[in-house]
Amino acid sequence: MELKRIFVSDLLASWKKFQQTQLLFPFYPSHGQARSEFLAAVKRGEGFWLQRKSQWLLVDKIDKDNTWQINNLLISLNLGWQTAFLLLENAARQKFKRALYLKIEANLILQQWLIDQGYQLLDGLWQKELVYHTGLVLGGGGARGAYQIGVWKALLEKNIQFEVITGTSVGGLNGALIAQGDYNQAWALWEEIETDKVLDITFKEVEELDFSAQVDQLRTFIKVSLQQRGVSSEPLRGLLEERLDEPKIQTGCPFYVVTTKVPAFQEVIVSLNECPAEEIIDWLLASAAFFPMMAMAKIKDEYYVDGGYRNNLPVDIALQKPITELIVVDVHGPGLDKKYRLPDNVAELALASPWGLGDLLLFQSARSSENIDLGYLETKRAFDELQGYRYFFSCHSNFEMITKDFLRYAKTEITLKKEALYPELQKFFGAHVPTEMLSLAFLEFFAYWVNVSPVQVYTPQEFIETILRQFEMPIKLSATFSVQEQIGDFIESHNVFSDYYQVLQIYQQEGSLETFYRRWPIPTLLALFFKYIRNINLTIGS
């Protein structure tokens, strides 16, 4: 759950429920006036909502100097006021805001309650400085782990410190780099990484690593791992010996890695702060021993394999510490993700890319560099410093204006039923897409299909130009993409029953599109939108 901007179309789609919301605190004399003022805030772009199942928390806030000034709070009838207040503070912690300011006139009872919650009245505002005790959880995922270093880069820019780190497999390796506090060492390791620098395997020399060469590498990898009962990770040991400072890890924040003891198949949790310095790399390698592709690790006559077999995303370990928020970075590794219950007083920032992050065991420095950038940009977006669903744009990019202009154009081509757009958008995209942001969703639809790179911050004009250029001159996925990704791209690009092909077929129709719009409203609008961006000279805010 996170606080997201709410749009007028969102309120209209749930108008009856909105009309039943009530003031949490006396920001206004009546519930009705508070609802009217919130609607005005939504139109200004200052209205936000948090939804938990059927419960709503509506917030009118202003961001200022890394704080939130709260000017109005509305809650649904089934949301208790104490729970609502806790959700508000958790939402602020998700964004790592420095303080909360409440602009209310409080009676004596409310004043005492606010004081008990850590608020004080200064300059007419009830203010609370937020104190952070942050845990970091890093999941396993092999070569995809570079993404976690990009996340760390964005966290460093916000000066976010950790009071506990837990990691499995590559998450343990990255956790060690983070625990010693040296971003440059982490970046250098991932920038130079290649499979033969991690595992004791030699691939056939090729002039260019294309699709067939990647298939050959995977075939070689499987063959060698079967012959040797797992490929040795001794080259990785050498990299870690070069990059890690064991005494810094021992004296850093509490840091735990997970491995699996065999043959009992038992989860083993290791505190690296308490390990002898000479054992730290042994335990890191034990946590990352992805058997049978990689050889088992042997420590004191006991054998260990990848911790992901028992606990690939060790949130439960971090929750044993007195933390107030948790950052969880999942890189789609195989294994067991334990279910966990997040305490009500702990905020969670979950980061998991919607993009594929490459092969699990084929390490490529170029792909690692892209994944670092992707982790960095997605974390910046999570902190509302960028916008977009799958791609990235400046927060000043005015997609609402583009949408309004497009809908005016669409009305000249079809009998547009604007009130029916909202449910159709949710159904087509399978995600929350307000009508006002239709242009952003449509642009990202075309960008994804023509393989526009996500690792860049675009202006709308640059994005449109890139889409049109790659539509005219299609590009294939480079060899930095996994075999699975390239096969998937081939299947999608040749699937004549896909949404993309349906849109192109409608786009190529001559004459009126009314019949198509009545039957397939969103594909028809997408076809019109493509005509719009090709034929109209847009003046777009960047």
Claim: this prediction has a pTM higher than 0.85: yes
Which active-site residues does the annotation give?
Answer: 169, 306
SS3 (DSSP) at 465: helix
CB 260 within 8 A of CB 304: yes
User: Which sign does the torsion angle of CA 184, 189, 190, 191 carry?
Assistant: positive
Residue 214: per-residue pLDDT:
66
Q: Is the pLDDT of residue 404 over 90?
A: yes
Show the domains of the chain with their CATH numbers. Answer: 2-129 (3.40.630.30), 134-381 (3.40.1090.10), 385-541 (no CATH)
Q: Which stretches within 229-343 are classed as H helix? A: 234-243, 246-251, 280-287, 308-311, 315-318
CA distance linking residue 452 with residue 456, whole number of Å: 10
Residue 480: per-residue pLDDT:
64
Instruction: Go through 28-60 and write b for each residue having 16 or more CB atoms within 10 A of its CB, e for each that does not.
Output: beeeeebbebbeebbeeebbbbbbeeebbbbbb
Nearest to 448 by CA among 482, 428, 477: 477
CA distance linking residue 181 with residue 211, whole number of Å: 37
Average pLDDT over residues 447-474: 92
pLDDT category of residue 516 using cuts at 50, 70 and 90? very high
Average pLDDT over residues 212-240: 75
**With pLDDT > 70 as the criterion, what percentage of the chain qualifies?**
90
CB 314 within 8 A of CB 168: yes
Q: Is the pLDDT of residue 493 over 70?
A: no
pLDDT tens, position by position, 84-117: 999 999 999 999 999 999 999 899 999 999 999 9
SS3 (DSSP) at 271: strand
Residue 540: per-residue pLDDT:
45
pLDDT category of residue 417 using cuts at 50, 70 and 90? confident
Residue 358: per-residue pLDDT:
87
pLDDT category of residue 491 using cuts at 50, 70 and 90? low
Average pLDDT over residues 342-351: 95
| Phi, psi (rounded to 5 degrees) for 270 | -120, 125
pLDDT tens, position by position, 252-280: 999 999 999 999 999 999 999 999 999 99
The residue count for the chain: 542
Nearest to 513 by CA among 402, 411, 404: 411
Residue 10: per-residue pLDDT:
95
Q: Is the pLDDT of residue 536 over 80?
A: no
For strands 120-122 and 125-129, give the pairing: antiparallel
Burial class (CB in 10 A: 0-12, 13-18, 19+), 112: exposed
Residue 541: per-residue pLDDT:
42
Residue 35: per-residue pLDDT:
96
Q: Which residues pair with 299 in a beta bridge?
A: 302
Q: Is the pLDDT of residue 521 over 90?
A: yes
**Residue 137 CB contacts under 8 Å (≥ 6 apart), including other chains:** 165, 166, 167, 171, 313, 314, 315, 318, 326, 327, 328, 329
What are the CA-CA distances from residue 401 to residues 136, 407, 539 (Å)?
Answer: 39, 10, 10
CA distance linking residue 272 with residue 164, whole number of Å: 12
Residue 363: per-residue pLDDT:
85
Residue 226: per-residue pLDDT:
65
Q: What is the CA radius of gyration of the chain?
A: 26
Instruction: Go through 280-289 and write b for each residue having 16 or more CB atoms within 10 A of its CB, e for each that does not.
Output: bbbbbbbbbb
Q: Which run of H or of E encompasses 458?
A: strand 457-458
The structure tokens listed for 71 are 């000017």
User: Which sign does the torsion angle of CA 61, 62, 68, 69 carry?
Assistant: negative
The mean of the pLDDT values for the chain is: 90
pLDDT tens, position by position, 133-153: 999 999 999 999 999 999 999
**With pLDDT > 90 as the criterion, what percentage of the chain qualifies?**
73
